[in-house]
A and B are shown apart, each in its own frame.
Chain A
Amino acid sequence: MKILLVCSAGMSTSMLVDKMRKAAEAQGLEATIDATAEAGLANELETTNVILIGPQVRYLESKITSKAKPHGIKVAVIDSMAYGTMDGKKVLQQALSL
Chain B
Amino acid sequence: MNPVMQWMEKHFIPIAGRIGSQRHLVAVRDGFVAIMPLIIIGSFAVLINNLPIDFFQSFMVNTFGEGWKTLGGNIWDGSFAVLSLLVVAGISYNLAKSYDVDSLSAALLAVGCYIILTPTTEDWGLSYAWTGSQGLFVGVLTALVVTELFRLLYQSKFTIKMPEGVPSGVVKSFRALIPAAVILLLVSGLQMFIAALTDGSIHELVFTVIQQPLQALGNTLPAALTITFLNQLLWFFGLHGTNILGPVIDSIYLPLLEENISLFAQGTSAVDVPYIVTKPFLDAYVFMGGTGTTLALIAAIFLVSASKHYRTIGKLSAPAGIFNINEPVMFGLPVVLNPVMFIPFLTIPVLLTLTSYFAIVIGFVPKTVALVPWTTPPLISGYLVTGGSFAGVVLQLFNLTLATVLYIPFIKAAMRADKKNFHSKGEQTDAGSTKVS
Give every chain A residue within 8 A of B243 (Cβ-Cβ).
8, 57
Contacts of A58 in B (CB 8 A): 17, 238-239, 436
**Once bound together, how far apart are the Cα atoms of A39 and B18, in whole Å?**
17
* Residues in B whose Cβ lies below 8 Å from that of A80: 238, 331, 334, 336, 434, 436-437
Give the residue of A8, A38, A42, A84 whose beta carbon is less than 8 angstroms from that of B331: A84
Selected from A42, A57, A86, the residue in CB contact (under 8 A) with B316 is A86
Expressed in whole angstroms, the minimum distance between the Cβ of A24 and any Cβ of chain B is 20
Interface residues in A, total, Cβ within 8 A = 26
Report the Cα distance A85→B332, complex, angstroms. 5
A-chain residues with CB within 8 Å of residue B436 when the two chains form the complex: 55, 58, 80
Interface of B is mostly: helix
How far is it, in angstroms, between the C-alpha of A55 and the C-alpha of B330 when the chains are bound?
A: 10
For A54, the chain B residues whose CB sits under 8 A away are 327
B437 touches A77 (CB 8 A): yes
Near A by CB (< 8 A), chain B positions 318-343 give 320, 325, 327-334, 336
CA distance A77 to B437 in the complex (A): 6
**B13 with A86: CB separation less than 8 A:** no
List B2-17 residues whose CB lies under 8 Å from chain A.
13-14, 16-17
Number of residue pairs spanning A and B whose beta carbons lie under 8 angstroms apart: 86
CB neighbours (8 Å) of B94 from chain A are: 39
Interface size class of B (residues with CB under 8 A): 35 or more
Q: Please indicate the chain A residues that have their CB under 8 angstroms from the CB of B375 in the complex.
A: 11
Asked if B238 and A39 sit within 8 Å, CB to CB, the answer is: no
State in angstroms the CA–CA spacing of A56 and B290 once bound together. Answer: 13
Specify the chain A residue showing the minimal Cβ separation from B435: A80
Tell me which residues across on chain B come within 8 A of A85, comparing CB atoms.
312-313, 316, 328, 332
Residues in chain B near residue A57, CB distance under 8 A: 20, 239-240, 243
**How many Å from the CB of A29 to the closest CB on chain B?**
23
Closest CB in chain A relative to B30 CB, distance in Å = 5
Give the residues in chain B near A1, CB-CB below 8 Å. Answer: none
Q: Does B97 contact A (CB under 8 A)?
A: yes
A31: Cβ under 8 A from any B Cβ: no
In the complex, are the beta carbons of B240 and A84 less than 8 A apart?
A: no
Do B328 and A81 touch (CB < 8 A)? no
Closest to B327 in A: A12
In the assembled complex, how far is the CB of residue B376 from the closest CB belonging to chain A, in whole angstroms? 13
Interface centre among B97, B320, B437 (most CB of A within 10 A): B437
Report whether A81 and B331 are in contact in the complex, using a CB–CB cutoff of 8 Å: yes
Q: Quick check: B313 and A60 within 8 Å, CB to CB?
A: no
Question: In the complex the two chains form, what is the Cα distance from A84 to B333 in whole Å?
Answer: 7
Give the interface SS of chain A, mostly helix, strand, loop or mixed.
helix
What 0/1 pattern do residues 220 to 252 of B give for CB contact below 8 A with A?
000000000000000100111011000000000
B17 touches A59 (CB 8 A): yes
| Interface check B21, CB cutoff 8 A | yes
Contact flag A56-B325 (CB < 8 Å), given A85-B313, A86-B332:
no
Residue from the set B240, B327, B434 with the largest chain A CB neighbour count within 10 Å: B327
Instruction: State the Cβ distance, B231 to closest chain A Cβ, in Å.
Output: 12
Would A81 and B320 be within 8 Å (CB), given that A12-B328, A54-B327, A55-B436 are in contact? no
A95 to chain B, nearest CB (A): 15
* CB <8 Å contact, B336 and A59: no
Check A42 against B97 for contact (C-beta < 8 Å): yes
B292-350 at interface with A (beta carbon < 8 Å) = 312-313, 316, 320, 325, 327-334, 336
User: A60 and B21 in contact (CB under 8 A), knowing A77-B437, A80-B238, A80-B436?
Assistant: yes
Contact check, B327 vs A84: say whether CB atoms are below 8 A apart. yes
Q: Are A8 and B240 in contact (CB under 8 A)?
A: yes
Q: Which residue of B lies closest to A63 (CB)?
A: B21
In the complex formed, the residue of A with least CB distance to B291 is: A56
CA distance A67 to B433 in the complex (A): 31
Q: Is the CB of B20 within 8 A of A15?
A: no
Residues of B within 8 A of A55 (CB): 238, 331, 336, 436-437
Contact sample, A vs B, 23 pairs, CB 8 Å cutoff: A7-B327, A11-B325, A11-B375, A12-B327, A12-B328, A39-B97, A54-B327, A55-B336, A57-B20, A57-B239, A57-B240, A58-B239, A59-B16, A59-B17, A80-B331, A80-B334, A80-B436, A81-B334, A81-B433, A84-B327, A84-B328, A84-B331, A86-B332
Across chains A and B, which 8 residue pairs bring their CB atoms closest together, nearest first?
A: A84-B332, A59-B17, A84-B331, A12-B327, A80-B436, A80-B331, A56-B240, A85-B332
